[in-house]
A and B are shown apart, each in its own frame.
Chain A
Amino acid sequence: MNEDLILFLQEPYFLTILLVTVLIALCASLMGVTLVLKRYSLIGDGLSHVAFGVMSVAIVAGVTNDMLVVFPVTVITAILLLMGGQKRMIKGDSALAMVSVGALAIGYLLRSAFPASAANGVSSDVCDTLFGGLNLLTLSEEKVRMCIILSIVVVLAFVLFYHKIFAVTFDESFAAATGSNTTLYNLVIAVIIAMIVVLGMQLVGSLLISALVVFPAMSAMRVFKSFRSVTICSVVISVLCSFFGLLVNAVCSFQYHLEIPVGPTIVVADIVVFLVFSLMGLFRGRRTA
């Protein structure tokens, strides 16, 4: 192996990125089952477009830590979309489409109109925001700290509300009828989703965040059969895939002088795992229906 590569892999810079990557991947995979089964996959996607728009505004306005702006706006959007959309799904659906595409258009327009106005004089690439650009330039110390704190909050919230999230996902009307505060738990789910979107954007960009959420859960669901085992399995898949993606990225860059983006690499790893798990599911012979 290349000696430069080995040195690079031990650098604190790389280890920091590794930590952030693993944490983000872990968080993203937690809510996968809930999102898939509640038919919320699209909402995660829409939210990330909103986050893109807000981030563009933040960058153009010269805000140093764009997460401080992106995070609250995304949370509020998530709450409005999920709470408003509960009773009238069709209206909620088109509202989501309008908000997400609108945000995407406005964001890109602003970025094109003010290309050089980025914070600290660093010109920011739109592609980085869309497909993920985890590198030294975009990863300030402050941002690293924020990613770590947000990740911990997400994991804590998930553990604390685990059984409630299960009950609300499996059968919302039963939960409501037997005295669970389903409005509160749906709110918790909305906020966790928003946090995951903001986190995931840093790693794989706003267009790919849904992949990070959906693929591990779908893979785990092919093979495992209880909510707990599926959740644990998707976390493991997600963490391993992100680790692998980062490694491939480093190897390519040092060994072959090939600069490939981290986000898509991780997503491709997730896709491969999904195919493998689908085959495993088939061989287990439970695809009768």
Chain B
Amino acid sequence: MALLSCQDLSLGYEGKAILEHISFAVNPGDYLCIVGENGSGKSTLMQTILGLHHPLRGTVKTGDGLKQNEIGYLPQQTQVQKDFPASVWEIVLSGCPGRQRLLPFYTKEDKRLALQNLEKMGITHLKKRCYRELSGGQQQRVLLARALCATKKLLLLDEPVSGLDPKVTAEMYQLIEDLNRKEGITVIMISHDIRSTLQYATHVLHLGAEVFFGTLQAYLSSSALVGLGREAGTSHE
């Protein structure tokens, strides 16, 4: 059964649709990349999957025992976070499900989960460090560890490598691929980076004038990719 399925979604603001008739399904173990130019509605779609935005039409359903609030989310960094005084430990812990209960503290179970994910991200030694003093790559690892505390099954990543240098970018992709292949965590990623999409994704959702959803193999021979390639050649690097 699909972990997540979207049926005939129409998304937009104040009645005006920016995306129409989007249907796709994500199965356990998939690595789905959502690509498309700026303003094509990638972020709106992601917010809809997370339940932060209501679709104009259509439905988003979770399945296979996944609840709406069990999706791990790696948002793009906000301005607020850049000068926020918080330790790595406080941030990772804030992803734990203990936050949903009415208890004023985190349980032992939560703390164990947080420690385990620090380790998985290779940042145990940064536990007591201040978040705002870390490098961009380290900050992303912290937020990824937090997202892992919130989910065991599905990760949503919103341009996880934006602003990172090539070496750190490669490490980040490797980390995500390991989570996908070794831990069996399903990944949905918004990406600008067409090359990495082609390298890691199993499925592609292409938004734009032409909407495409299918496996990577089908995408490689579709006309949507040709369109994006042309655009990347002219307007991007």
- A residues engaging B (CB < 8 A)? 33, 37-39, 159-164, 166-167, 169-171, 173-180, 220-221, 224-230, 286
Contact = CB atoms under 8 A, between A and B. Distances in A.
Interface in B38-97: 47, 50-52, 67-73, 75, 78, 80-81, 83-87, 89-91, 93-95, 97
A33 B85 contact: yes
Give the interface centre of B70, B72, B73 by most chain A CB atoms within 10 Å.
B73
B104 A224 contact: no
Contact of B81 (A170, A175, A176, A178): A170
Contact of B104 (A39, A159, A220): A159
Contacts of B47: 173
B65 to A, nearest CB: 15
Contacts, number: 104
Contacts of B147: 174
A38 B79 CA distance: 10
A177 B50 contact: yes
A32 to B, nearest CB: 11
Contacts of A37: 80, 83-84
Nearest to A217: B85
Contacts of A229: 85
B221 interface: no
B81 A163 contact: no
Nearest to B132: A225
Contacts of B156: 177
Contacts of A159: 104
A230 B85 contact: yes
Given A37-B80, A174-B146, A179 B87 contact: no
Contact of A163 (B50, B52, B70, B105): B105
A105 to B, nearest CB: 33
Interface of B: 47, 50-52, 67-73, 75, 78, 80-81, 83-87, 89-91, 93-95, 97-100, 104-106, 128-130, 132-133, 146-147, 150-151, 156
A174 B147 CA distance: 9
B87 A167 contact: no
Give the interface centre of B81, B86, B156 by most chain A CB atoms within 10 Å.
B86
A179 B130 contact: no
Nearest to A182: B52
A170 B94 contact: yes
Contacts of A167: 94, 99
B146 A177 contact: no
B90 A180 contact: no
A179 B69 contact: yes
Give the interface centre of B68, B78, B94 by most chain A CB atoms within 10 Å.
B94
B75 A174 contact: yes
Contacts of B50: 173, 176-177
B7 to A, nearest CB: 21
Nearest to B156: A177
A225 B91 contact: no
A173 B85 contact: no
B27 to A, nearest CB: 21
B99 A38 contact: no
Q: Which 5 A-B pairs have the closest CB atoms?
A: A179-B69, A225-B130, A226-B87, A177-B50, A178-B150
A261 B236 CA distance: 62
A178 B202 CA distance: 25
Nearest to B147: A174
Nearest to B133: A286
Nearest to A176: B52
A26 B90 CA distance: 23
A174 B104 contact: no
18 contacts: A38-B80, A160-B104, A163-B98, A167-B94, A170-B80, A170-B91, A170-B94, A173-B75, A177-B69, A177-B73, A178-B69, A178-B72, A180-B99, A225-B87, A226-B86, A227-B85, A227-B86, A228-B90
A78 to B, nearest CB: 20
A62 to B, nearest CB: 42
Contacts of B84: 37, 169-170, 227
Given A225-B130, A227-B86, A171 B71 contact: no
A58 B147 CA distance: 50
B86 A166 contact: yes
A226 B88 CA distance: 8
A159 B103 CA distance: 11
Contacts of B85: 33, 220-221, 224-227, 229-230
A230 B84 CA distance: 10
A163 B100 contact: no
Contacts of A170: 80-81, 84, 86, 91, 94
